[in-house]
Structure 1
């Protein structure tokens, strides 16, 4: 790759032409900027969405597939015109489109911990709601008023199943299947045992179980904090590798071997290898959840009402 003033001007001219076409297309479609008032600046929103740290990143600028794909195509064509590498342009498009996946190394651990914490609060509040003379099903329905947001949809679905006439055992098993956590199985097992024998002392058992759940949440948060350290290192290694890839394109004779067909094939192999290493590192950071001890609910008979089942 010989970097000359003529090639630089040609690359900039091609990039400007593509940008002009994109602006013309946006004007023809009738694009207008959003008038929604946001507390954060646009730059901060894009950075947080890029890193996957914004709770509303699903509606953020960078997370919109059309915006990210358009930016990727423009940047990829600029790289192609600047370096003369068609494969380099395609890799750049793939990198820009997949940048949230490359930089966002967080797994589903935090979401599962939040749900488990919601279950702990729900069980603790249920122990106060359930009193002598009030059935467990009625207590579950009353708990909708104070159920934590993390499990509101799951508890609402549980109440809907109970209201629709599902057998309580089947409804509770389906609730456990929805949350898919071995610790939640302990809660559901307690509810099922109470349905079968209707014994006393459920409120006290729920309070004790809530204490155990609080310790479980604390332990999982500590484990998740330890797992976050290698994830942060992985993110910085990714940024470093992408930065080195970008700088090597400006190194002149050092990257001349990539101008050949063989060099382009090697470039593809390097890109594929980088993605495979990222996948391998993510699998290493994933901890298998504890196996559940409750079998999945019987879906064939789950929809039967109590009268029909009897």
Structure 2
């Protein structure tokens, strides 16, 4: 491909257009962290099929992925310039942005286990802090000094909400939404029930609950160990496919059909089919999470469901 001034200007204009769309979307949606909210069942299933967990706010996402997004724009521009494939550059940019999702299919499960283990450690420390004459809310505030890093932000926001005058029950429910785990709901359920019954025995109940969480963490780790081998095979298949895609761009005669408009559309369809196959493979290896019982129906119908579960 001959690189002339018009080609360079077109490439840079396309990159500027994409960057402009990104900035415009950021301006419309805002960069502030969104408050926790309940996701619909369809949304939860979609995120599970994609293999992603709770989505961070725009600021947190950009802080973690800004370098990767910049690299994706550069890679897409280079592929476009040296192959003449505008759609090839787009596919390459998408691949660079999605590399963690493509190569680390078990990251979400590992992160959820680490969060649950942090909840278990926090509850155990909370049972030690809580003593006669000290309210649960005061114990939670004191636990900020030793809360595990995996849930430090969530616990900090919980303390901030209660300090701002939130009703404890509402603050606890938002805390459960942020953790978004059925097992963590048991912890929040105990806290909510304690609001109505301020009797003794909370410290012992928290300690017993921490022991149950410890067994749950151990069970989940054993399951993830069994799923590690197929995930490793999936990772190698992905690396092989990406290597073939990269090497094919060096073969002029073999890739000549992709220089046409129809060929570019076929290239995009092949990339979309590859992503769909990845989602299908993850769906087959996915275990449906236990439904949370602190649901919207529980809010509408009072705390009867909560009491029955407890």
With the shorter chain as reference, the TM-score category is 0.5 to 0.7
What displacement does 1:90 show? 4.8
CA distance in 2, matches of 1:207, 1:168: 21
In the alignment, structure 1 residue 121 sits paired with structure 2 residue 121: yes
| 1:165-209 deviations in Å (ceiling 9; x for gaps) | 322222222221221111111112222222212122111111111
Flag the 1:151–1:105 CA change in 2: closer, same or farther, 3 A. Answer: same
Find 1:66's aligned residue among 49, 70, 81: 70
Flag the 1:75–1:170 CA change in 2: closer, same or farther, 3 A. Answer: same
Greater alpha carbon shift after TM alignment, 85-94 vs 216-225: 85-94
CA distance in 2, matches of 1:295, 1:62: 35
Could you say which residue in structure 1 is the equivalent of 2:240?
240
Flag the 1:58–1:233 CA change in 2: closer, same or farther, 3 A. Answer: farther
Could you say which residue in structure 2 is the equivalent of 1:201?
201
What displacement does 1:210 show? 0.8
In the alignment, structure 1 residue 75 sits paired with structure 2 residue 85: no
Flag the 1:75–1:158 CA change in 2: closer, same or farther, 3 A. Answer: same
Unaligned runs of 5+ in 1: 1-9, 23-55, 300-310
Query: Superposition pairs for residues 251-266 of structure 1, below 5 Å?
Result: 263-266=263-266
What displacement does 1:228 show? 3.0
Number of aligned positions between the proteins: 250
Query: Superposition pairs for residues 1-310 of structure 1, below 5 Å?
Result: 63-80=67-84, 87-88=87-88, 90-249=90-249, 263-296=263-296
DSSP-derived class of the 2:236 partner = helix
- Is the 2:72–2:94 Cα contact (8 Å) retained in structure 1? no
Flag the 1:244–1:128 CA change in 2: closer, same or farther, 3 A. Answer: same
TM-score by length of 1: 0.67
What displacement does 1:236 show? 0.9
| 1:119-140 deviations in Å (ceiling 9; x for gaps) | 1111111111111222222212
CA distance in 2, matches of 1:135, 1:90: 56
What displacement does 1:264 show? 4.9
Greater alpha carbon shift after TM alignment, 206-215 vs 97-106: 97-106
What displacement does 1:283 show? 3.0
Flag the 1:261–1:196 CA change in 2: closer, same or farther, 3 A. Answer: closer
CA distance in 1, matches of 2:179, 2:239: 35
Greater alpha carbon shift after TM alignment, 164-173 vs 211-220: 164-173
CA distance in 1, matches of 2:69, 2:203: 49
